[in-house]
Amino acid sequence: MVNIRCGSCSALLFRARHGAIANDIEIKCRRCGTINHLRPTEPLPDRQERPSRKNSCGSISRK
Ligand SMILES: [Zn+2]
């Protein structure tokens, strides 16, 4: 299973098995309201699309 997380706040959106997503989808994060565009899950070893360092739109800051 793959954890699909919000690209903005890293909230867990849903989990899916590899290959469960057959086409592009959009899902709105319930925590921050960001609309995440997701593509079919596939192994992308070289591409870094996770904003792990850039905190321009706010990192995890829960109170
Ligand atoms: Zn979010």
Instruction: Specify if 61 maps to a domain.
Output: no
Is 24 within a domain?
yes
Taking the centre of ligand 1 as the mean of its atom positions, its distance from the CA of residue 57, in whole angstroms, is 10
Rounded to the nearest angstrom, the distance between the alpha carbon of 5 and the centre of ligand 1 is: 8
> What is the per-residue pLDDT across 5-63, written as a single tens digit (0 to 9) for each?
999 999 999 998 888 888 899 999 999 999 999 888 665 555 555 666 655 666 666 66
Strands (E) located in the chain: 2-5, 12-16, 25-28, 35-38
49 within domain boundaries = no
Domain total in the chain: 1
* C-alpha–C-alpha distance, residues 1 and 17, integer Å: 4
CA of 35 to the centre of ligand 1 (A): 8
pLDDT for 39: 84
**Chain mean pLDDT for the chain:** 80
pTM comes to 0.57
Domain of residue 20 covers 2-38
